[in-house]
Chains A and B, each alone.
Chain A
Amino acid sequence: DTAVSQTPKYLVTQMGNDKSIKCEQNLGHDTMYWYKQDSKKFLKIMFSYNNKELIINETVPNRFSPKSPDKAHLNLHINSLELGDSAVYFCASSQAGGVVNEKLFFGSGTQLSVL
């Protein structure tokens, strides 16, 4: 029954590795997001997709590549992981684009630790 689910919950890996985080929503929403929360709890948007189309791409290194095979899924691939990538990554969704009108539903987060 989980509305927005992301896996894995925890991810520990070495520098230089490539890893993926998966996100799925069963709410029938059109828009999905990736947010990054750093160690100081600062939460910042990385990407948003509307119906599989990239809408927002903040100033994120191109080592980060989102992929949306369908509107219910938005996966995040990270290449050549660096220490500074350690953070909690949240997936979210909303019925339509425009979060000022739509409520965001968040997943429970993926804690990424790069050693």
Chain B
Amino acid sequence: AQSVTQPDIHITVSEGASLELRCNYSYGATPYLFWYVQSPGQGLQLLLKYFSGDTLVQGIKGFEAEFKRSQSSFNLRKPSVHWSDAAEYFCAVGASYNTDKLIFGTGTRLQVFP
């Protein structure tokens, strides 16, 4: 069965610093991978997704993620964090047997200090 692990529950960075949020997945074939962001009191918003092709994916708000098959990872990065990036970030993988279903990780909470 597919699964997603986000090893970091909580990360704190200074504004302007670079950011990397880790995501590891478990799936036998090429996965469909997503990053969603949840701002306080809001629903989730799609940042970016990977289906195939170029392993470096660009998303909204200056985020990017790199698919590394050898490491079963899909880490999210941003070169310079803004205070408005403080939120909960969720990695997700598309299920193999039913493409209507996303399996989410438990999230990483990002705090940004001025």
Contacts and interface: CB of A to CB of B under 8 A. Distances in A.
Contact of A100 (B44, B46, B99): B99
Interface string B87-114: 0101000100011111010110000000
Contacts of B42: 106, 108-109
A69 interface: no
Given A41-B88, A41-B106, A99 B43 contact: no
Contact of B104 (A33, A42, A98, A103): A42
B43 A90 contact: yes
A90 B44 contact: yes
A43 interface: yes
B28 interface: no
B99 A104 contact: no
A92 B51 CA distance: 21
Contacts of B51: 100-101
Interface of A: 4, 31, 33, 40-45, 48, 50, 55-56, 90, 92, 97-101, 103-109
Interface of B: 32, 36, 41-46, 49, 51, 88, 90, 94, 98-102, 104, 106-107
